[in-house]
Structure 1
Amino acid sequence: MQIWPYLPRLDADAPSIKAVIKRDPEDFVVEEVAAYEPCGQGEHLFLWIEKRDISAEGLLKHLAGQLRIERRDIGAAGMKDRRAITRQWVSVPATAESRIDRIDNKAIRVLKSARHKNKLKTGHLVANRFSIHVRGIAKPLRESVLASVARVAADGFPNYYGPQRFGNEGHTAKQGFDLLKGQLRPAQIPRQRRRFLIRLAISAAQSMVFNTVLGNRIDNGRIATVTVGDVLQKIESGGMFVCENVEQDQARLDAGELALTGPMHGPKMRRAEGEPAEWDAEGLARWELTEEQFAEFSRVAHGTRRPMMVSADDLVAESATGGLLVKVTLPAGVYVTVLLREVLGLED
């Protein structure tokens, strides 16, 4: 299933370079920016963990084994890359506090710990801070890449879901499409992880439709233009409304007060109206889907909308051995691979 290269970049003339990331784990450093700090008391123990070249699944398995707890009792705000050095909070029951000295090994270190009142849950983070050594950029090409970096820092980049979202060769998205179309029954999915895998697959299908709508708006030159019927999001509060006054809302979009949004289909999604509703429908039609099919999976796909563009105000790059060192902080749920693709055409 073709999931990635067909999507247009915001600047079709930006560099396209076959660079390399993650040659070494040290080339890709990501640090979580927490939504809150542990308060120092409570029935849960927060661990600030650094891992090197180990998967999120490997980390959870190691913690459960060394602390003698169930994996379901471990909380994490998000899953981090394997081929990388990552730092993040993880929560475990405070009853395991006496055993945390068993955790450290060559790949995993506990840097600090503190108690808190609640378990850490998915999404309990504000952003991720990245430092990425991009190798294989010849010196004559670096100026054009630095110009591309400056453009993205000033204008932002498309908020596509990255290829990781869709599974190997798009398998997870295809599974989601098959579930929605009735070509795969939930009962055919292994019972032990059925709910999790269904949620993952339907989410991947939602994301594929979103990417399609976003790509179409870029192709049609409407990614920075407000249209009557667009669903707009207030940057400061997150509230959404349907555009009725183009002149007023266009000025607010240009000022960075509003964001255009795209569909993540489900019964609770705010519907666009008029022409934007037709564009959303074209995204469904591309994959031969209907809104009603998503409604059948409302327990795992409530529906929402996602900003189509994302800012990267602190994006910077500097010369490094064999290439560039790229640093940026991105909101939770935004893919740094998408940013790298926009900057230098790097396909993950």
Structure 2
Amino acid sequence: MKPTARIRTTPSDFVVEEIPAYEPCGQGAHLFLRIRKTGLTTFECARRIAARFKVDPRDVGYAGMKDRHAVTTQSFSVPMAETVQLESLGSIDIEGVELLQARRHTNKLRTGHLSANRFRIALRQLDPPESLQDVREALLATETRGVPNAFGPQRYGRHGDNPDRALGWLRGASRGPSNPREKRLLISSIQSMLFDEVLRRRQEDGTWNTVLAGDLAKRHDSGGLFECEDESVDRPRAERGEISATGPIFGTRMRWPKGLAAEIERQVLADKLGDEKILQRFGKNGEGSRRALRLVRTGVRVSALEGDPNGLLVEFELPKGAYATTFLGVACTLLDDGQRRDDRDGETSRHDELMQHTEFDPE
């Protein structure tokens, strides 16, 4: 049994910094606001920014969802005519929000316009206390061995039933949602569930952290995909953490692997959906992509936690679409005080906000 640890006892225990995909260029009809927020969801922050600048909330852009019960740094964009002088704007004056930078850019900030998230998380009250060193070693060992890159319940909806709802609709047992945003949400949930099932089966057969002939592997330095043709060449690269096998984000335009990897994915599809033709019903809401089966090279650092002799401070970086709780869960079972406070499902994807958001990045 894994040791337990408490997270998000206070917002400052869970610090997230969004790393932008690009910096604002200094000119254009959109104002990029780099802010630090505490006690607000991303959606609520966007709504307040819209009210402050007197724009439609749908015109406020952001790259990804962040926690309420945390201290998070991220960027928002608002449309603003180039004739408006930034000096005339005054303070942002939103409770719980600190403005770090305001700079113009040529386009709206959209979902997925980030490269990674940097985390600084306190693990408190580790139980049993003598597990401290084991947890530290387990986290440090992930640097090259990796961590299973599961979506987990964060993507299954507040009650965990979104994949079942999606299956009922796709199989014709129920009417599909009329709200296009909800339709995207349900498709995303079943894509996530199918990916997690492929990952689970590859964990069972011991191939999740290596590559098979025919795998579509991801280069961690560039993000590029290539087909693994020679295991003797590519397996050492996987052992060094340079590459990882990918799993399916099923969709009509997804690139398929070959060999045993393809057999596993097609079997999961057959077991869960029954008919590959059902993918056609995803349409443009789920065209598909590939996702690495593991997280590696997170730059993890573990140190003593000030004020808690049975705690640890963990710092690491994850690519977009990866979950801090998944990463930490490799070493301990998390008791999430923040989840109990705000009844949330995970640290980045939220049911309520997605229902009101017009874009969704399956990665």
Q: Structure 1 residues 325, 286: closer, same or farther in 2, change over 3 A?
A: farther
1:312 & 1:346 partners in 2: Cα distance? 22
Deviates most, 119-128 or 274-283: 274-283
Give the aligned partner of residue 334 of structure 1: 322
Question: Hey, what does 1:232 align to over in structure 2?
Answer: 217
Gaps (5+ residues) in structure 1?
A: 1-14
* Corresponding position of 1:144: 134
How many residues get paired? 329
- How far, CA to CA, are the matches of 2:221 and 2:314 in structure 1? 27
SS at match of 1:297: helix
- 1:184 and 1:33, CA in 2 relative to 1: closer, same or farther beyond 3 A? same
Residue 316, structure 1, aligned to residue 301, structure 2: yes
- 2:104 is paired with a residue whose SS is strand
Equivalent residue, structure 2, for 1:178? 168
Please say if 1:18 is aligned against 2:4: yes
Query: Mean Cα displacement is larger for which, 59-68 or 40-49?
Result: 59-68
Q: For 1:219 and 1:234, locate their aligned partners in 2 and report how far apart those are by CA, in whole Å.
A: 24
* Distance in structure 2 (CA, Å) of the matches to 1:71 and 1:236: 36
Give me the whole-angstrom Cα distance separating, in 2, the residues matched to 1:208 and 1:311: 22
CA deviation string 1:130-158 (max 9, x = no partner):
11111121532211111112212342211
C-alpha distance 257-145 of structure 1, shift in aligned 2 (>3 A)? closer
2-structure distance, mates of 1:198, 1:18: 36
Structure 1 counterpart of 2:245, from 260, 263, 280: 260
AA matched with 2:134:
S
Partner SS state of residue 222, structure 1: coil
Return the TM-score normalized by structure 2: 0.84
Question: 1:266 Cα deviation (Å)?
Answer: 0.8
SS of 1:263's equivalent? strand
**Any conservation in 2 of the 1:67–1:99 contact (CA below 8 Å)?**
no
The 1:98/1:185 distance shift into structure 2, 3 A limit, reads: farther
Query: Whole-Å Cα distance in 1 between the matches of residues 49 and 240 of structure 2?
Result: 46
Q: Is residue 293 of structure 1 aligned with residue 275 of structure 2?
A: no
* Residues 57-91 of structure 1, C-alpha deviations (whole Å, 9 max, x = no match): 21121111221101111110111111101111100
Q: What's the offset of the Cα at 1:161? A: 0.7
The 1:103/1:183 distance shift into structure 2, 3 A limit, reads farther
The Cα of 1:299 is off from its aligned counterpart by 0.8
Q: What TM-score do the two structures reach when normalised by structure 1?
A: 0.88
Q: Deviations over 1:270-292 (max 9, x none)?
A: 11223222211232244244321
**Larger deviation: 78-87 or 228-237?**
228-237
Q: Report what 1:49 is aligned to.
A: 35
Equivalent position of 1:3 in the other structure: none
Q: Please give the residue correspondences for 1:1-348 in structure 2 after superposition, counting only pairs within 5 Å.
A: 16-95=2-81, 100-101=89-90, 103-138=92-127, 139-186=129-176, 188-189=177-178, 194-320=179-305, 321-322=307-308, 323-346=311-334
CA distance in 2, matches of 1:100, 1:74: 17
Structure 2 portions without partners, runs of 5+: 337-363
SS in 1 for 2:32: strand
CA deviation digits over 1:77-112, x for unaligned, max 9?
111111101111100012485785463233122222
Shift of 1:54: 1.0
Give, in angstroms, the shift of residue 300 of structure 1: 0.6
Measured in 2, the distance between the counterparts of 1:164 and 1:347 equals: 15
SS at match of 1:170: coil
Offset, 1:176: 2.4
Shift of 1:29: 0.7
SS of 2:208's partner is: coil
Change in Cα spacing, 1:71 to 1:106, as seen in structure 2 (3 Å) is closer
Change (3 A) 1:236 1:134: closer
Partner residue, 2:354 = none
